[in-house]
Amino acid sequence: MAEISFRQVLNDTLREEMHRDENVFLMGEEIGVFEGSYKITAGLLKEFGAKRVVDTPIAENGFVGMAVGAAMLGLRPVVEIMTFNFIALAIDEILNHAAKIYYMFGGQTPVPMVIRTPGGGGQQLSATHSQNLEAWFAHIPGLQVIAPSTPADAKGLLRTAIRNNNPVLFLEHLALYNNKGEVPEGDYTIPFGQAKVTKEGKDLTVISYSRKAAIAHEVASRFERENKLSVEVVDIRSLRPLDRETLVNSIKKTGRAIVFEEDWRSYGVGAEIVATLQEDAFDYLDAPIKRVASLEVPLPYSKPLELAALTGVQELEDAINALAPRRRRR
Amino acid sequence: MAEISFRQVLNDTLREEMHRDENVFLMGEEIGVFEGSYKITAGLLKEFGAKRVVDTPIAENGFVGMAVGAAMLGLRPVVEIMTFNFIALAIDEILNHAAKIYYMFGGQTPVPMVIRTPGGGGQQLSATHSQNLEAWFAHIPGLQVIAPSTPADAKGLLRTAIRNNNPVLFLEHLALYNNKGEVPEGDYTIPFGQAKVTKEGKDLTVISYSRKAAIAHEVASRFERENKLSVEVVDIRSLRPLDRETLVNSIKKTGRAIVFEEDWRSYGVGAEIVATLQEDAFDYLDAPIKRVASLEVPLPYSKPLELAALTGVQELEDAINALAPRRRRR
Amino acid sequence: MSTEQQKRPDERDAIVKSISRVVTLPEDEDQETLVHYYSQMLLVRRFEEKSAEMYNKARIGGYCHLNLGEEATVVGFCAGLGPKDYVYTNYREHGYAICRGISAKTVMAELFGKETGCSRGRGGSMHLFSVEHRLLGGYAIVGGQIPLATGAAFAIAYRGSDEVVVCQMGDGTTNGGPFFESLNLAKIYKLPIVFFIVNNQYGMGMPADKGSAVPELYRKGCAFDMLSERVDGNNVLAVRDAMRRAVNVARGQHEPVLLEAVSYRFKGHSVIDPDRYRNEEEVKQGRAQDPIPTFARRLLEAHLIDEQGLDRIEQQVEREVEEAVRFAEESPFPPIESLMDYIYAPDNVESERR
Amino acid sequence: MSTEQQKRPDERDAIVKSISRVVTLPEDEDQETLVHYYSQMLLVRRFEEKSAEMYNKARIGGYCHLNLGEEATVVGFCAGLGPKDYVYTNYREHGYAICRGISAKTVMAELFGKETGCSRGRGGSMHLFSVEHRLLGGYAIVGGQIPLATGAAFAIAYRGSDEVVVCQMGDGTTNGGPFFESLNLAKIYKLPIVFFIVNNQYGMGMPADKGSAVPELYRKGCAFDMLSERVDGNNVLAVRDAMRRAVNVARGQHEPVLLEAVSYRFKGHSVIDPDRYRNEEEVKQGRAQDPIPTFARRLLEAHLIDEQGLDRIEQQVEREVEEAVRFAEESPFPPIESLMDYIYAPDNVESERR
Ligand SMILES: Cc1ncc(C[n+]2csc(CCOP(=O)(O)OP(=O)(O)O)c2C)c(N)n1
Ligand SMILES: Cc1ncc(C[n+]2csc(CCOP(=O)(O)OP(=O)(O)O)c2C)c(N)n1
Ligand SMILES: [Mg+2]
Ligand SMILES: [Mg+2]
C-alpha cells in the first residue's frame, strides 16, 4: 500500500467520487481559484470546471442552505466550511433544515450532503479560529458526525459520507493534513458507526478521535516499545452514530479508561463517552474514567499560553501513569 | 410570601431592574407593541417607552450582536430570543463574540448582557420549534447558563444575571410560565453556581433543571406522601458554572442517581452530570447513573408521536422504581 | 420590468392603496379560468375559517397561521406557475398547498396530525410538503426556506432542466440575513428563481414599514441589480400576470426576480393571536379590500357568472371543506411504532432525480 | 451625498482606475498635517513590511494580514475621525491601530504575543484593542464586527452623547447577512455610525465583483435608503474628506452612512499566501497606484517638503519600527499562571461608562 498524506487522500477521494457520480459537486469559499484555504481541493477546478467546483461568497448560512436545497433535488453537495469556527453562521440550516427535512416531511426527501471542515487549535489562530465544536453536532438526531484520524480512515469514511443519503458532518483537523499513512487502493469504504481498536492493550484503554487519536496511538506505541504499560487505543471515528459495543468491550478487557479529547472538557464529547461506559460497563470499571481535555478558556494567541491551554502528549502520559493498575501488575 | 406565576415574576423582575439601573434595557422581537410572544414583557413598553423596550426586526444575528456591542459600552441589554430554536441564527455573536471579547482583548471590556429565551417541547410546535439546546451553551467558556424551575429561583437568578458583568444565557421553559410559587419579597438574589436540594431523600437522587426539575419535585413529593421511596431532588439551576459539590454530596448520601432532562440524550446535559459524578463520587455509586431523557428524534407534530418522544412523569417513575435499592430496604 | 419601469401600461399591477377598485375584466381571459380562480380563492377562505374552528376545538395543535385576506395573492401565485415548477413557502402555506393541487383532505389531515396527511402527520400546519405536487415544504424558521429554494434553483441550473423555483416569504423576512445572502447568490449564479414577498403589512405585531428601512420591499432588489416588481396582492390577475412575467424571465434568461405582492392580513398572526395591537380603522380599511367579493363583482359585471353560479360554488366549496374535515377525523394517527422512522434515509433510497 | 450625486465637483473622490494621477494639493491644507499624513502612511508601510519579516522569522504566529497598498485609506480613515469616536475593524487592522494612536511598540508586542501588547498578548494580529484609543477591536469572523459596531452606536444614541462609531470591513464582507442586517438596523434606529468598506478588490482569492452581484459596493446602501458614497482609496485627502462628511452626517443627523474606499491589496491575503491566483499585469497596475510615492510627489511639487525632508521621515519611521521590534523582543510573555484570567469579569469591575 502507498503512503499518502491526509491532504492528498482527501483530494484523491473527492476527485474519484466526482468522476463516479456527476451529482457530486463541491461548494465553498476559496475552493476553486484559490484551491482551498488548506489546499484540499487543489487542481479540482481545473479538472472539473466551475460548474462542479463552486466558489462561494462569504455567506455560510446562504451556501450551506443552498447545498441542502440542492440535495433535496438529488444532487450530492460536498461543502467545505473553511474552518469549523465559521459553521456558527450556518447552524440554522444544519440544525433546523438539513437534519430535520427528511423526518419533518414524513420521509419524502432525503438530504444527501457532506459538510467538510477542519477544526482544531495549536497554530496561534486565537480564540475564534481554534475551536472544536463536534459535541454540538453529535447531539443532533438526523445528522451523522465523522472524525477520522488516519488517511486510510479518511478515504473510507469520506467515500461512505458522500454516498450516504443523509447529512454528514465530516470533521478534519488542521494538524492532521500533513500526516502520512498507508491507504488501501481501490473503492475502499468504511461503514459509519464503527469504532476501531487501533492498538491492542491490556492495562487500560485510551478512547479518542481525530488528531488526538493519532497522538494516542503514538504514545501507546512508545509505551509498548519502552515496555512500559500495555495501552489499548480505541479510535471512535464516528461520533454519531456511536459504536457503544466496541468501547464497552475494550473496558471489559482493561477495566480502566481515559478519554483523550481536544475540545473543552465540560459538556464535551468525553462526557458522553464516560456516561455511555458507566451505563453499559459499570461493573467492569476498576477506576473512574478520566477525561483528558483542553482547558476551558477562549484559546489565547500568545504561544506559551496556547500551549498551556491545549491538552497534549504530556497530559496523556501523566493520565496513563496515574490511572495504570501498578499494584495489580506486580 | 405571595404566590406568583413564573411569567409574572419575570415581568416584575425586569421592571424592577429597569427602575434600578437606567443602563438596563430590553431588546427583541415583538417584546413591545405585541408585549412578547409569551407576554413576559407585558406593559413594559407603556411604562418605559420605546427607548428602553426595543422592538427589533427578525434579525437574530444582528440584534444579538448589537446587544454585545451596546454592552461593550456599558449598557446592560436583556435580549429576548422568542424561542430557543431561533438562537441558531445568533450563535456566532454569542460563541465568537459575547463569550470571547473579555478574554481575547486582555480583559479590557466586560460584556454584561442577558439573553432570555424559552425552550422546550410538548405543545405540538414541531421539530424546529421544540428544542433544548442548553448543552451547547454550557460547553462555552465565557458564558454562564442558568435554568430555573421555580418562580422564586427565576426572580433571584434573573436579578443576578442582569447585574453580572458577563454574558448570561437565561433559559426559560414554555411549560413553566403559568406555574405559580411563593416568591421572596424585596431585593432577592441567588448567586450563580449553586445547585439546590429541593427535596431531601435517602434512597436515590434525581438531578434535574428547568421544567423537569419541577416535575421531579412533584413526583418525589408524591412518592413520599404515598410513602413509597424517599427520593432526593437536586435542581442544578446553574449549568455553567456547575455546582459539583452539591451533586457529589447527594450521591455520597444516596449512592444512586437519575438525571432527568428534556434534551436529547446523547451528548446532552445528562452526559456531563454523569461524567462529573463518576469522576468525583465513583466509590459512592451503588449502581450506574441513569439518564432519563427525550428520544433522539426531530420532534414530530402529531400528538401521539410527540407524547411518545418526550420523556415525562411515567419515564421518571419507571426509572426510580428500577433503580431503587429494594433489597437493601427490606 | 426593472425597478425603474415596474408600472405596466394596463395597470394590472398598479397598487390600489385604500379604495378597492373594480377593474373590468380583460377580453382575453376565458370564463372557466376566471371562475376557477374565484372558487379557489373561496376554497382557501373557507378552508382557513374551518382551520380556525378546528384549532379552537383542539383538533389542530401547535401554531396555525392562516391565509385569510391573502387569497388573491395565493391563487394568483399558483396560477402563474407551471406544473413542474417548485414551490418553497413559509409556515403560512395552507392555501398554497391546496392551490398547488394537494387535496384539502390531505392538508386537513396533516393539520390533524394524521398518517394520511401530506407530511404523514409529522409536520403539521407549518410543514406541508408534497413531492408529487412539487411543494418542497412549508418552513417555520423565518427565512430558512430562502437558501433552500436558492439551492433547488441551483440544482435545476446544474442539470440544465427548465423548471423554476418560486420562494414565498413574508415582509418581515426581508430584514434578515438569509434573504439578502440568497438574493446575492441567486444573482451571481444566474439561477432560475422568483423570490416572492407576501407583504401582508405585518410580521406578527411589527408593521412592515417599521422593521424595514425601505417601505417598498421590492426595492431591496436594487442592491443586487435584480429585476424587481411590486404588484397589488388583492388583484388575482395582476398577481398571476406578474408571476408569469417573473417566471418567464427566470426560466428563459436564468435571471432571478424579486416580486412583492401587497396584501393584508385579515386576522391575528396565528389563530391564538387576539390581534389587539392594530388600529381598528386600519383593519376595517384593510378588510374592505377583501379580494373575494371584489372579484365576484367583477365576474358578475362581466356576466361570466350569475348569483346562482356563485351559490353553487359556495356549496361545492363548503362540501369540499366538510369532506376534508371528515376525512381528517376518520384518518388514523401514525402508529407509535413508527416514531423512529424517517430519521435517516436508508442507503437504498436513491434520492429521486426530480 | 446620496447615491445619485456621489461625484463631487472638486473630484477628490473620483475613482482613478488605471493611471495614477497627480492632483495638485488644495490651498486650504496646512503643511504640517499633510506631511504628517505622509509619515503615517510610510509608518504603516514599514511596519507591515517588518511584520512580514518577523512572521517569516517565526516571531509572529497565526494569521497575519497586512495593510500594504491600503495606507492612504487607513490614514485618511483615521484622519477623518474625532478623538472620541469609536472604531471597529476586521483582522487587517495594524495600520488602523497605529493611526488611532496606539504606539507601534505595543502593536508589535501584541503581534509577538507579549504581555505588553495592546491586548495583553491574548489576541494577536487579528485582535488589537485599546479602550484608551477607542479601538474596540479587530475581529476575525468576517462580518462579526458589524453588529457589534451597530450596537455601540445604539449605546451612544441611548445615552444621547455625540460620538460616532466607524466600522471598517472588507469588500467580501458585504455579501454576508450580518452586513445587511446591520445596515437595516442602523437605519431604522437612526444610529450614528459609518459603515466603511475597504474595497481592496479581493476577498482572499475572490474578486470583489465576482462575489457581489453589484460591483460598486456602496450601491448596496440603496436597499436601505442609506447615504452612500464611493471614494478613491489611494487618495488620502479624498478618503479623509469623505470620512469627515460621513461622520458629520452620522453625528449631526444620526443618520448612518455607507462609505466605500477603492484600494488595492498589494500582496497575498495574509503573509503565508503566495498570491499565485492574480494576473501579473493586473497586480503591476494595482501597485502602480501606490499611494505613498504619489503623495510624496504631490508634496514635493507643492514645495511642502524636499528630498531631505522625505529622507528624514524615512529615517524616523525606520527608527520607530526598529524600536517597536526591540520593545516586542524584550517584553515578557504573559505568565502561565495568568492563563485563566479574564475569562469572566469580576462583579466589582463596574463596566466603564465609555
Ligand atoms: C428565525 C425566526 N425568528 C423568529 C421567529 C418567530 N416568528 C414566526 S413568524 C414571525 C413573523 C414573520 O413575519 P412575516 O415574514 O411578515 O410573515 P407573515 O407571518 O406575515 O406571513 C416571527 C417573528 C421565527 N419563526 N424564526
Ligand atoms: C465567517 C467567516 N467566513 C470565512 C472566513 C475566512 N476568511 C478570512 S478573511 C476572508 C476574506 C475576507 O475578504 P474581505 O472582506 O474583502 O477582507 P480583506 O481580507 O480583503 O481585508 C475569509 C473568507 C472568516 N474569517 N469568517
Ligand atoms: Mg407579514
Ligand atoms: Mg478585500
ipTM, 2 dp: 0.97
Contact A306, D333 (CB under 8 A): no
How is residue C212 written as a grid cell?
A: 424595514
Paired sense of beta strands A180-183 and A2-5, if any: antiparallel
**Model pLDDT for residues A107-161, shown as the tens digit of each residue:** 999 999 999 999 998 999 999 999 999 999 999 999 999 999 999 999 999 999 9
Q: Do C219 and D222 touch (CB under 8 A)?
A: yes
The ligand with the least distance to the CA atom of A56 is 2
Which band of pLDDT confidence, cut at 50, 70 and 90, is reported for residue D3?
Answer: very low
Q: Is the pLDDT of residue B27 over 80?
A: yes
What was the pLDDT predicted at D151?
A: 99
- Ligand 3 mean position to C205 CA, how many Å? 9
- Identify the segments of chain C with pLDDT beneath 70: 1-24, 349-354
Average pLDDT over residues D139-150: 98
Q: How far apart are the CA of C113 and the centre of ligand 3, in A?
A: 26
Q: How far is D315 from chain A (nearest CA, A)?
A: 31
Q: What is the pTM of this model?
A: 0.96
Report the sign of the C-alpha dihedral through residues A208, A212, A216, A218, in that order: positive
Record: contact A298-B89, CB cut-off 8 A: no
Query: Does the pLDDT value for residue B330 go beyond 60?
Result: no
Give the residue numbers in D contacting C (CB under 8 Å), as ranges. Answer: 175-181, 183-184, 187-188, 210-214, 219-226
Whether ligand 2 lies within 6 angstroms of the CB of D140 is answered as: yes
Chain B residues whose beta carbon lies within 8 Å of the beta carbon of residue A242: 266
CB-based pocket (< 6 A), ligand 1:
B 29, 58, 60, 82, 86, 89; C 65, 90, 92, 140-142, 170-173, 200, 202-204, 269
pLDDT value at residue C9: 41
- Output the nine-digit C-alpha cell for D49: 513590511
pLDDT of residue D13 exceeding 60: no
Whether D276 has a pLDDT exceeding 70, the answer reads yes
The closest ligand to the CA of D142 turns out to be 2
Which atom, in ligand 2's list, is nearest to the CA of D65? 19
pLDDT at D27 over 80: no
Closest CA to C226 of C201, C200, C249: C249
Question: Would you say B138 and A266 are in contact if contact means Cβ atoms under 8 Å apart?
Answer: yes
**Choice among B214-223, C11-20, D177-186 with the minimum mean pLDDT:** C11-20
Q: How far apart are CA C102 and CA C89, in angstroms?
A: 14
Answer whether A242's CB lies under 8 Å from A276's CB.
yes
Instruction: Tell me the average pLDDT across B254-272.
Output: 98
B56, B96, B165 ranked by CB distance to D349: nearest: B165
Mean pLDDT of B92-101: 98
Pairwise CB contact (< 8 Å): B34 & C277: yes
- At residue C249, the pLDDT reads 98
Percent of chain A with pLDDT over 70: 99
- pLDDT band for position D21 (cuts 50, 70, 90): very low
CB contact under 8 A, B304 and C177: no
In angstroms, the CA D269 to CA C181 distance is 23
CA–CA distance from C87 to each of B92, C264, D222 (Å)? 30, 22, 29
Give chain A's contact residues with C (Cβ, < 8 Å).
25, 51, 54, 56-57, 59, 61-75, 77, 92-93, 96-97, 101-112, 141-142, 144, 163-166
Mean pLDDT of chain A: 97
Task: Tell me the ligand closest to D126's alpha carbon.
Answer: 2
Q: Label residue D23 by pLDDT band (50, 70, 90).
A: low
The Cα of A22 is separated from the nearest Cα of chain C by a number of Å equal to: 10
Please indicate if any CB of chain A lies within 8 Å of the CB of D113: yes
| Contact assignment for C141 to A96 by CB distance below 8 Å | yes
Q: Which contacts of C51-57 are long-range, i.e. CB under 8 A and separated by 24 or more positions?
A: C51/C94, C51/C108, C51/C111, C51/C125, C51/C271, C52/C267, C52/C271, C54/C108, C54/C111, C54/C112, C54/C325, C55/C271, C55/C272, C56/C271
pLDDT at B272 (0 to 100): 98
Q: Whose CA is nearest to atom 17 of ligand 2?
A: D170
Q: How far apart are CA D347 and CA B164, in angstroms?
A: 6
Q: List per-residue pLDDT tens for chain A, 330 residues long.
A: 779 999 999 999 999 999 999 999 999 999 999 999 999 999 999 999 999 999 999 999 999 999 999 999 999 999 999 999 999 999 999 999 999 999 999 999 999 999 999 999 899 999 999 999 999 999 999 999 999 999 999 999 999 999 999 999 999 999 999 999 999 999 999 999 999 999 999 999 999 999 999 999 999 999 999 988 999 999 999 999 999 999 999 999 999 999 999 999 999 999 999 999 999 999 999 999 999 999 999 999 999 999 999 999 999 999 999 999 875 443
Q: What is the pLDDT averaged over residues D230-254? A: 98
> For residue range D53-100, what is the model confidence (pLDDT) as tens digits?
999 999 999 999 999 999 999 999 999 999 999 999 999 999 999 999
CB atoms within 10 A of CB B41: 26
CA of C200 to the centre of ligand 3 (A): 5
Q: In the structure, what pLDDT confidence band is assigned to residue D28 with cuts at 50, 70 and 90?
A: confident
* DSSP letters for B144-176: EEE---SHHHHHHHHHHHHHSSS-EEEEEEGGG
Q: Express each pLDDT in B147-172 by its tens digit.
A: 999 999 999 999 999 999 999 999 99
How high is the pLDDT of residue B325? 87
The confidence score (pLDDT) of residue C23 equals 57
Q: If you measure from the C-alpha of residue D172 to the centroid of ligand 2, how many angstroms do you get, rounded to a whole number?
A: 7
User: Would you call C336 and B33 a contact, using CB atoms and an 8 Å cutoff?
Assistant: no
- Using the predicted structure, report yes or no on whether residue D16 has a pLDDT greater than 70: no
Contacts of D283 (CB under 8 A, 6+ apart): D266, D275
Q: Which three cell numbers stand for residue A303?
A: 504561544
Cβ-count burial of D259 within 10 angstroms (0-12 exposed, 13-18 middle, 19+ buried)?
buried
Question: Which pLDDT score, from 0 to 100, does residue A327 have?
Answer: 52
As a whole number of angstroms, the distance between CA C228 and CA D200 comes to 30
For a pocket test of ligand 2, which of A27, A31, A79, A82 has the largest count of ligand atoms closer than 8 A to its C-beta? A82
Q: Which of A140, A268, A278 sits opposite B139 (nearest CB)?
A: A268
Q: Average pLDDT of chain D?
A: 93
Cell numbers standing for residue D287: 501597485
Q: Which residues have CB less than 5 Å away from ligand 4 (the ion)? A: D 170-171, 200, 202-203
* pLDDT level of residue D4 (50, 70, 90 thresholds): very low
Tens-digit pLDDT profile for residues A63-110: 999 999 999 999 999 999 999 999 999 999 999 999 999 999 999 999
CA distance D136 to chain B (A): 8
| Cβ count within 10 A of residue B114 | 28
Please tell me if residue D270 touches chain A, with a CB cutoff of 8 Å.
Answer: no
A123: chain D residues, CB-CB within 8 Å? 61-62
Report how far residue A321's alpha carbon sits from residue C106's, in angstroms, rounded to the nearest whole number: 64
Name all chains with 3 or more CB-CB pairs below 8 Å to chain C.
A, B, D
Q: Of the candidates B57, B97, B108, which has its C-beta nearest D184's C-beta?
A: B57
Q: Are residues B57 and C333, on separate chains, in Cβ contact within 8 Å? A: no
